[in-house]
Amino acid sequence: MTDIKTKHYIDSIYYDIELTARVMKVLGAQVFSKLQLSLTPEEHAALDTIYCNPDICQRDLAKLILKDRANTGRILNSLEEKNLITRCVDVKNNRLVKRLAITVEGNRQLEDINKKIKDFLKNISCKFSPEETDRLQHSLREFRKSLKEFAEMNI
């Protein structure tokens, strides 16, 4: 059997990133399930991002939460049905957009959820220090920057 002188899938950085993303996703789902939160992780990500970017339009939100427009629209349908956000038709660059705003109830629930998550994580001793986490985050951003050159990401 001839040897293939290439890094194999399992040994690649691709694999480590996917695996880490997977672990974090499972972990996040476990936290949301254990705390019996009223939102899915996706809904929370959308709501939290709207909170940080008031009056953002749907397409820009889609780019931020890493979903396509269709998917984002459906997540927003759910948040709207729960009366946590409102969609307000407006004009941006002379184009019709739907600007997103959090309702009073949405704000209340978001603060409640974020507090619960914060408290929960506080009680977990993570061997990874905040400084190490910062370094890893920075490294990931640099890595992405080096990739973006030859990848056309169009969301």
Buried/exposed code over 60-73 (b: 16+ C-beta within 10 A; e: otherwise):
bbbebbebeeeebb
Asked if 54 and 101 count as a contact pair (C-beta separation under 8 A), the reply is: yes
Looking at the Cβ atoms of 70 and 91, the one nearer to a copy of itself is: 70
Assigned token pair, 87: 């969609």
Nearest to 38 by CA among 112, 98, 138, 96: 112
Nearest-approach distance from CB 105 to DNA, in angstroms: 20
In whole angstroms, what is the distance from residue 99 CA to residue 94 CA?
14
Asked if 101 and 88 count as a contact pair (C-beta separation under 8 A), the reply is: yes
Q: Name which of residues 52 to 91 contact DNA (CB under 7 A).
A: 57-60, 62, 66-71, 73-74, 76, 87
Report the partner that residue 1 touches, choosing among DNA, a copy of itself, none (CB closer than 5 to 8 A by kind).
a copy of itself
Report the partner that residue 94 touches, choosing among a copy of itself, DNA, none (CB closer than 5 to 8 A by kind).
DNA
In whole angstroms, what is the distance from residue 76 CA to residue 87 CA?
9
Q: Give bridge partners of residue 112 from the DSSP assignment.
A: none
Q: Name which of residues 98 to 137 contact DNA (CB under 7 A).
A: 98
- The 81-110 contact track toward a copy of itself, x by CB under 8 A, reads --------------------------x--x
Summarize as ranges the residues that interact with a copy of itself (CB under 8 A): 1-2, 4, 6, 8-10, 13-14, 16-28, 30, 44-45, 48-49, 51-52, 64-66, 107, 110-111, 114-115, 117-118, 124, 126-128, 132-133, 135-137, 139-153
